[in-house]
Amino acid sequence: MTISAKPVIGVISNHVVEDEGAYIVKARYVDAVARYADAVPLICPSVEDVSDAAAIVARLDAILLTGATSNIEPGRYGAASGRAPFDPARDGMAAALIAAAMAAGKPVFGICRGLQEINVALGGTLVDQRDGTNQELAHHAPDGVDLDAMFAHGHSVDVVPGTPLAAIAGEGSFAVNSVHFQTIGAMGKGLVVNARAPDGVVEAVSSSGTAAPILAVQWHPEWRPEGRPHDLAFWRNVGDVARAYMGR
């Protein structure tokens, strides 16, 4: 039997689904890893006992932290309150996987909630647009719309020259979908802004001086990326970096 030479990328799962415990991830994330990153996706359960996170990471070539409908519990970034729904088991496993990957020198990628998890794990904070008065730019579609309309909502982002995102997707501006309420407040240690929305919201980050490469975006490149060169470039980079770190 010939073993695939493709890298194996761990995709974090969510734990709370319809008020019942589960280990589940939306198919579009898993499919994107397989189709566009040309890698083998492996779902990582968000078990409450995170002591085996290092053992999970040891069997992977990279980690992908996905988006989710839940928000990170506010106590994890020093806030007094936050907006439900929460997923404490996912919060714990995400933090443990990030720490284990960085200790092992393995790449970490994030999408939407994943970007926020990375920022919090590195000591940063989050803010919720719904709690403030600054509504210069809506980062989420109105309530009650279907998935097509939700992911059709978007805005432009300005890419910071000389950053990893600029290297893979090009400098200048491009349009992204936008499906989030929470945004980065204070930046986590070792993270560098790669793109911002016109209202200043951080839309992409990478690592600087960390043991492992990190790249995360606030939008959703996994949602029907065909025809969007910057999103396809994101996935090619996920696969290329994971391949470069195979066996380390």
Residue tagged active-site, from 15, 112, 180, 230: 112
Q: Are strands 14-17 and 20-24 parallel, antiparallel or unpaired?
A: antiparallel
44 carries an active-site annotation: no
Integer angstrom CA distances of residue 212 from 105, 107, 117, 169, 227: 4, 5, 16, 21, 30
Residue tagged active-site, from 15, 180, 220, 230: 220
139 carries an active-site annotation: no
Residue with tokens 């039997």: 1
112 carries an active-site annotation: yes
Reduce the DSSP state of residue 239 to 3 states and report it. Answer: helix
Cβ(134)–Cβ(197) below 8 Å: no
State both tokens at 9. Answer: 């990328």
Q: Given 3-state DSSP classes, what are the helix, strand and coil percentages for the chain, each rounded to the nearest 5?
A: 30, 25, 45
Cβ(212)–Cβ(244) below 8 Å: no
Number of residues assigned to the chain: 248
Residue tagged active-site, from 117, 139, 203, 222: 222
The separation between the first and the last C-alpha atoms of the chain, rounded to the nearest angstrom, is 23
Cβ(97)–Cβ(109) below 8 Å: no
Give catalytic residue positions. Answer: 112, 220, 222
